[in-house]
Amino acid sequence: MSGAADALRLLRGDPRAGSVVPPSGFTARLTVFTAAAMAFLAVFALALALSAGHLADRWGDALARTATVRLSAPAGQMDTQLAAVMEVLRTTPGVATARPMTEPEQRALLEPWFGPDLPVETLPLPRMVEVTETQTGFDADALRLRLAGEAPGAVLDDHTRWRRPLVRAADRLRGLGWLSIGLIGAAMGAMITLAANSALAANAQVIEVLRLVGARDAFIARAFVRRFTRRALEGAALGTAAGMVAVALMPGGDGTGFLTGLGFRGLDWLWPLALPPLAGLVAFWATRFAAFRVLKGIT
């Protein structure tokens, strides 16, 4: 009999078939607790994965569409070279906007390092030009060559150097989040297998009686599978609800920082709802595997 057919029979089958296994308090509580704890952790792993994903996308998008031209030139040539830079940028395909940063903006950039009282006007600071790309973007190498020809003091920084590791880190974090969910599922499966093995061993006499009256292994396994799947569903529902409440109560923010951005947004809140059915599936297969393995070993 296929697993899918078994699952359907499990859902619509006669609940009295499950009553042939006596209720056992310890394994019941253990399974419900395990499923609840694992689902609670899975909600956080899910929040981590989704938030890291959003962060990677946001950083990738934001940084990919901006670049900076830094112009260092003697005081007498600064305005001439700046005009040349602006002209080059204006005529470069893929450049949406180009704007020289104002003195207060440059002061604000330096303030974290030098404090608010630094007389920046007395320093030979380079001029910065903020460049925004179109969706198609520009050819950075070609632009560098043109800038070198028209304004020798201009250097193009398209942020590639520091954008890549950031996006890579966020992507890695997203992967770790999903890996954590997988590991949580595997751990839950292992613990439910142990609990099922314990229940099967404790009910050896029940199995013997069922065999004597002509029960097939599938019937006996189903009685255990039904019980453990239901417990896992109940536990996971509790754990998921608690996890969602905990995530909802996390301190918010503008969402741009990592910790303040940890959580679910919009339709993301639907993702945790998949955890209880997934826990049920894990419990179904883990118990089924354990039951048939044990039953095969009993002559």
Partner 1 sequence: MAERGVIELDNVSHSYGGGELLSNISLTLAPGAFHFLTGPSGAGKTTFLKICYAELVPTAGAVRLFGADVRGMDRDQIARTRRRIGVVHQDCRFLDHLPVIDNIALPLLTAGQDPDDERNNIDELLGWVGLRARADALPPELSGGERQRAALARAVIMAPDVILADEPTGNIDWEMSLRILQLLVELNRMGKTILIATHDLNLIRAAKAQVAARVLRIKDRQLNLAGADL
Chain positions contacting partner 1, by CB under 8 A = 14, 16-17, 19-20, 22-23, 205-206, 208-219, 299
13 or 126: CB nearest partner 1: 13
103 or 208: CB nearest partner 1: 208
- Distant-in-sequence, close-in-space partners of 283: CB < 8 Å, separation ≥ 6: 31, 35, 188, 189, 192, 228, 229, 231, 232, 233
CA geometry: angle 243, 246, 249, nearest 5 deg: 150
Quote the CA–CA distance of 16 and 24 in Å, as a whole number.
16
Give all strands (DSSP E) within the chain, no chain letters.
66-71, 95-100, 127-133, 154-157
163 or 211: CB nearest partner 1: 211
Q: Closest separation between CB of residue 228 and partner 1, Å?
A: 18
7 or 215: CB nearest partner 1: 215
Tokens for 106?
Answer: 């440059």
The interaxial angle of helices 3-12 and 217-248, nearest 10 deg, is 80
Asked if 170 contacts 56 with a C-beta cutoff of 8 angstroms, the reply is yes
Q: Closest separation between CB of residue 213 and partner 1, Å?
A: 4
Quote the CA–CA distance of 260 and 253 in Å, as a whole number.
5
23 or 76: CB nearest partner 1: 23
- The DSSP 8-state label assigned to residue 251 in this structure reads -
Q: Closest separation between CB of residue 5 and partner 1, Å?
A: 13
Q: Closest separation between CB of residue 295 and partner 1, Å?
A: 8
Q: Closest separation between CB of residue 281 and partner 1, Å?
A: 25
